[in-house]
Amino acid sequence: MGFWDTTQQILVILAHPDDPEFFCGATIAKWTAEGHQVSYCLLTKGDKGVNDHFSQTENIKELRIEEQKNAAKVIGVTDIIFLDNEDGYLTPNLELRKEVAGVIRKVKPDIVVTCDPTNYYLRDSYINHSDHRAAGQVVIDAVFPAAQNILFFPELEKELHLEPHHVKEVWISLPKEKNIAIDVTETWSRKLEALTKHASQIGDIDQFYNRMRSRHTEDSSDETPRYEEVYRRIVFS
């Protein structure tokens, strides 16, 4: 069971289709292989997720939903909630916090996985998408105190019968400051296989594989690579 002695209910809450696989796909594959139950909540349907390698601009939502379902299956996830916020315009406002708190109360996860709202830059070569930061902020605020306190958004309990729920742990992907690293060498290939299902996002397949395989740890090599995914893990006492 890895970090836990019993099966955990794990809810991954991120901004876009493909974020779970890119940010923590190998870890998710490891967890599902260990028997944990993993589900996704994606705050948008990725309707602006096109790039120079993919010219289709019609029915983007439907395409990306289908890609996400196919990718998730590769790493053992079939339960996906798609919220209908507009891609690119996420803000950590009270309306979205209420929506996410409601999802947490409904799913009742032991573990919530999200991303770091304080991380503006990645690898000295990439500006972190504003949606990623907004998602991380709203999820953290929803976990504590909104999801667990009956006085927050009382209509969730009165109208929707969603009782308060206490999350045990939060795992923050793409952390500005990590406190845990997971060896995911054994499941890295499953992460890459899952990501290939996001054909609208990855561009040239050979370049994608070369780029992702080069992300091994500094203490390993191309010939004998070792891969890690890192987090800020918060365990509530």
Of how many residues is the chain composed? Answer: 237
For 120, the domain range is: 9-235
pTM: 0.95
| 75 within domain boundaries | yes
Which pLDDT value is given to residue 54?
Answer: 64
Question: What does the alpha-carbon distance between residue 96 and residue 139 come to, in Å, rounded to a whole number?
Answer: 9
Q: How far are the Cα atoms of 6, 8, 36, 129, 194 from residue 2, in angstroms, in the given order?
A: 9, 11, 10, 31, 22
Q: How far are the Cα atoms of 28, 50, 141, 225 from residue 31, in angstroms, in the given order?
A: 5, 30, 25, 21
Which pLDDT value is given to residue 203?
Answer: 85
Q: In terms of Cα–Cα distance, which of 152, 106, 114, 105 is closest to 134? A: 114
| 4 within domain boundaries | no
CATH code of the domain containing 47: 3.40.50.10320
| 92 within domain boundaries | yes
Q: Are strands 111-115 and 169-173 parallel, antiparallel or unpaired?
A: parallel
| 155 within domain boundaries | yes
Tens digit of pLDDT at every position of the chain (237 positions): 788 999 999 999 999 999 999 999 999 999 999 999 999 999 999 988 666 666 666 788 999 999 999 999 999 999 999 999 999 999 999 999 999 999 999 999 999 999 999 999 987 888 999 999 999 999 999 999 999 999 999 999 999 999 999 999 999 999 999 999 999 999 999 999 999 999 989 888 999 999 999 999 999 999 999 999 999 999 998
Which pLDDT value is given to residue 12?
Answer: 99
| 2 within domain boundaries | no
The CB density around residue 147, as the number of other CB atoms within 10 Å, is: 28
Which pLDDT value is given to residue 75?
Answer: 98
Which pLDDT value is given to residue 53?
Answer: 63
| 115 within domain boundaries | yes
Query: Which tokens sit at 166?
Result: 């206490």
Q: Which residue has the tokens 């993919």?
A: 54
Q: How far are the Cα atoms of 37, 39, 96, 232 from residue 4, in angstroms, in the given order?
A: 13, 17, 31, 17
Query: Which tokens sit at 71?
Result: 């990718």
| 99 within domain boundaries | yes
Number of domains in the chain: 1
| 1 within domain boundaries | no
User: Is the torsion defined by CA of 224, 33, 25, 55 positive or negative?
Assistant: positive
